[in-house]
Structure 1
Amino acid sequence: MSARLEVADIMRRHGEAYRQAHEGHLGRVERRTMSAIELCRTAALGGHLEGCPSCRTIRVSYNSCRNRHCPKCQGQACRDWLAARQGDLLPVPYFHVVFTLPEPMAGIAFQNKAAVYSILFKAAAETLLTIAADPKHLGAEIGLVAVLHSWGQNLHYHPHVHCIVPGGGLSPTRFGRRSGAAQWIACRPGFFLPVRVLSRLFRRLFLQDLQAAYDAGNLSFFGDLAGLMAPAAFRRRLAEVRRVEWIVYAKPPFGGPGQMLTYLGRYTHRVAIANSRLVSMADGRVSFRWKDYRHRGKVKVMTLDAHEFIRRFLLHTLPDGFHRIRHYGFLANGHRAQKLELCRRLLTITAQESAADTTHDRPAATPASRCSWCGRQMVTFGIWRCGEVPRRPFWSDSS
């Protein structure tokens, strides 16, 4: 059985030629991402030697690159992150709301990733918090986890934010104090907030903040968008997108905390394309599976020139230090523990009961430290860097 094709194989085969062909256009982040994926889990990064004291199986494990754009490195990172989120779960339905930038905004976002992505996060979160706090809708302080994605199934640039929101919130506060006894306010069954209202506020907040960033000189434009440096041209672009409906999509609610954790794991550490979607690499071309949502999610195969595949993959690299998972409302980092404790008390369960209810849904521990033959715990007896030779296991000299 042949080894499964990986993005790393494509980078190793075509990466150097791509770098040479685009010498003047590749940034530091893109170059570092390509190099990390090429070297991931190879001897170049060093590794360690594991052995099973029971059946004496020996296994070489090379180090991971840990680059957040690498398809091979995100599985364990996702499991660790989800395990840390166990304490945040509440016994309520959860909703999934997606905020998408319209096509005319995509080019501006690509040329100003850090600034526009931050505006996108802020506008999406503020929209949800504002509408949820309105007594005409929910009238509560909600919490949410927001995750940035910038790709569609065909790897085209498509910036959007996924928001996972518990179905309810805390009674509102006034002047820093709660108005009356604190209460948990639940959403109507199967309904969170009206998407049209969300869409219009999201559009207004995003364009307002984008104009402020432009006025402060925090945006830059080049190539086809260089004309937007002129204030009149920029105002016309904003006027155009102000006249179209912006897409906010609220998916049907899913079950309780266990299902939410599994569902969230599909989004938090996903990269532009998983290795499992790759089909073949031959004659300088790469084929991969994708879902065509314009045809009811039908699975199709797309074939691209290898350089075009790499180009599309690199569209989705993030600026250094940029956080693509953020928490807001009562899930914000500054007061999350206290607010969640209050939520559980109002929902008449204890934190211990909550954890007990969801223990069976915790992500499974990685099997990497178990012997593939007998299932016993493997022992690490040698760690080396590139050019070093690991020492032999203590039992290897015995008969």
Structure 2
Amino acid sequence: MIRLAAIIAEFGADFVAQFRHRLSFDQLQALSAIEHCRSPASPMMQVHCSDCAHHHLVPHSCGHRLCPHCQHHESQQWLERQMQRLVPADYFLLTLTLPAEWRGLAAAHADVVFDFLMRCAWETVHRFSQNDRQLQGTPGAIAVLHTHSRRLDFHLHVHLVVPAAAVDEAKQRWRRKRRGKNGTYLFNEKAMAKVFRAKMLAAIEAAGIPLPARYPREWVAHCQSVGSGEKALICLGRYLYRGVIREEDILACENGRVSFRYRNAETGKSEKRSLTGAEFLWLILQHVLPKGFRRARNFGFLHANCKRLIALLHLLLKFDPSRFTPPRKQRPPMRCPCCGAVMAIVRTRIRSTSPGVIATTPVVAAAI
């Protein structure tokens, strides 16, 4: 398997020289973090064996959300939280896409446009739910922003996992869409695209950002039934914190070029793409999100502040979401190389201040 850190070490200098004028501080930080993840250059933690008293230093992971090695545990925790918020209703996966003509504007004003994209997507779902004759209330949604296509090109869109249900706060009623002969129908895709387009245009103009010279009048929206919702959440959670590419998909790094595989969405077949090392790194680094931006958000009655409401719904509707919760994967313990016993973390964030001298910061092991 070819590590992304090795590609950065080999082509990093050429990449910075070629794309310096397009790189932000956040992207340079991501480049450095991934290159030094779990390497001797990263901070260390000291582990100690209680059986044989052996101890040694282990490098920390970088924790960057674009790194393919980090935040697997956070991804699992997020998925468990979402599973506990499932309700007895038919679920739909809504996808709202920003046109290709907007990509330059989105890259130049990422923090603003990304936020507008998620907010306008939710406002569109909320408006349709309020106007729907069977719902007439506040819906719930789990939204995740994606910035890439399967080919790793910049392709901005937001996925929303939405139950076909709503809460009428005024009348304190719970309403669900009724199933017809062809299953449950949620919202019209073309109508959603029109409303989403209007909301995005209004938000961008209100922010004083000049619109693109040309963009299509018709935007794209998809509404797909996903059953009880757990499979859609598992799919979104799988790519939430693990970067945009798996290192297993990097096929070759030779002759100054990097090749990787991806699955063609139209044919379903695996295809290969090859670029120079610098171009490949730009393909990855262009998906660095603005610092502090939350790409996964909960809206409506699925918001984190609605825990009591969700618990009440589970009680009244006699619904137990625990059966959908995937089995927890425990972090594998670190074993002593001498006796094989489990080793405990006693110090973290150890940095070398000078040869032979080590500065330490003791913390609780569970905080890592």
- The two structures have a TM-score, normalised by structure 1, of 0.79
Aligned to 1:222: none
Larger helix share, 1 or 2: 1
* CA separation of 1:28 and 1:17: change in aligned 2, threshold 3 A: same
Deviation readout 1:173-206 (Å, 9 max, x if unpaired): 4xxxx22x52242453443322122112111111
Amino acid across the alignment from 2:140:
G
Task: Verify: 1:162 aligned to 2:165, yes or no.
Answer: no
The SS at the match of 1:281 is strand
Amino acid across the alignment from 1:291:
R
Aligned to 1:199: 193
Aligned to 2:148: 151
Structure 2's unaligned 5+ residue stretches are 361-368
The SS at the match of 1:272 is coil
Task: Verify: 1:254 aligned to 2:209, yes or no.
Answer: no
Aligned to 1:328: 299
Report the Cα distance in structure 1 between the residues aligned to 2:49 and 2:284, rounded to whole angstroms: 39
Shift of 1:354: 3.5
Aligned to 2:321: 354
8 Å contact 2:106–2:114 — kept in the other structure? yes
Deviation readout 1:211-264 (Å, 9 max, x if unpaired): 2222xxxx3xxxxxxxxx5xxxx4853xx42x2x2111123313354x454233
Amino acid across the alignment from 1:329:
G
* CA separation of 1:137 and 1:99: change in aligned 2, threshold 3 A: farther
Report the Cα distance in structure 1 between the residues aligned to 2:184 and 2:277, rounded to whole angstroms: 45
Aligned to 2:42: 45
Shift of 1:390: 11
CA RMSD across the alignment: 2.9
8 Å contact 2:101–2:212 — kept in the other structure? no
Task: Verify: 1:124 aligned to 2:121, yes or no.
Answer: yes
Deviation readout 1:322-353 (Å, 9 max, x if unpaired): 111111111223x321331232234234xxx4
Amino acid across the alignment from 1:337:
K
Work out which of the residue numbers 12, 17, 21 in structure 1 matches 2:14. 17
8 Å contact 1:51–1:381 — kept in the other structure? yes
8 Å contact 1:114–1:322 — kept in the other structure? yes
User: Number of residue pairs matched?
Assistant: 353
Amino acid across the alignment from 2:60:
N
Aligned to 1:182: 173
Shift of 1:48: 2.9
Work out which of the residue numbers 335, 340, 354 in structure 1 matches 2:310. 340
After TM superposition, the structure 1 stretch with the greater mean CA deviation from structure 2, 312-321 or 83-92, is 83-92
Aligned to 1:395: none
8 Å contact 2:90–2:225 — kept in the other structure? no
Shift of 1:14: 1.0
8 Å contact 1:71–1:271 — kept in the other structure? yes
* CA separation of 1:137 and 1:7: change in aligned 2, threshold 3 A: farther
Structure 1's unaligned 5+ residue stretches are 220-228, 392-399
Deviation readout 1:23-68 (Å, 9 max, x if unpaired): 4432211110100011111122222354665799988632011112
* CA separation of 1:56 and 1:280: change in aligned 2, threshold 3 A: farther
Report the Cα distance in structure 2 between the residues aligned to 1:267 and 1:132, rounded to whole angstroms: 28
8 Å contact 1:147–1:325 — kept in the other structure? yes
Report the Cα distance in structure 1 between the residues aligned to 2:358 and 2:337, rounded to whole angstroms: 24
Report the Cα distance in structure 2 between the residues aligned to 1:336 and 1:304, rounded to whole angstroms: 47
Task: Verify: 1:279 aligned to 2:262, yes or no.
Answer: no
8 Å contact 2:226–2:232 — kept in the other structure? no
Aligned to 2:329: 364
Report the Cα distance in structure 1 between the residues aligned to 2:46 and 2:76, rounded to whole angstroms: 23
Aligned identity (percent) is 28
The SS at the match of 2:76 is helix
Aligned to 1:98: 95
Amino acid across the alignment from 1:116:
V
8 Å contact 2:161–2:229 — kept in the other structure? no
- The two structures have a TM-score, normalised by structure 2, of 0.85
After TM superposition, the structure 1 stretch with the greater mean CA deviation from structure 2, 97-106 or 138-147, is 138-147
Work out which of the residue numbers 268, 272, 276 in structure 2 matches 1:297. 268
- Extract structure 1 runs of 4+ deviating beyond 6 A: 54-59, 370-376
